[in-house]
Amino acid sequence: MFAVYATITIFASLLYGSAAVVYLIGHEFPKAQLDMKRLPRSWAPVLGMLLAAGSLGLLGGFALPMLGTLAAAGLVLYFIGALLAHLRVESHNLANWAGFFATAVAALAADLVYHWS
């Protein structure tokens, strides 16, 4: 079971870490997404930091299991918020969101099964 947990956790950490970098370097894609959702561009660094914290927290879960669990749960909540932002502006282009959300759910499920069952 450890191999499954480690694979999902490392993949999720790399995914969210790369997304955090894209937000934090000021790339145009996150700005366009914020514009589409009618959210202030000033939120980009904050959202990037939340993604970075989630990414690092997942890795920290190898040493402190509760940290990984909280990070995975936080990422699930982050992407529920992203879904609400999409629905608020009636955006139905949810393919990217679904991939990010499914990865967060998988990371949380793998963490819970490995550490807490």
Residues 6+ positions from 26 with CB-CB distance below 8 Å: 44
* CA 91 remoteness from chain centre: 19
Q: Confidence class of residue 117 from pLDDT cuts 50, 70 and 90?
A: confident
pLDDT tens for 19-58 read 999 999 999 999 999 999 999 999 999 999 999 999 999 9
* Cα separation, 15 vs 90, whole angstroms: 26
Q: Is the pLDDT of residue 86 over 90?
A: yes
Q: If you average pLDDT over residues 64-91, what whole number do you get?
A: 97
Structure tokens at 65: 């299991």
Sequence ranges of the domains in the chain: 2-116
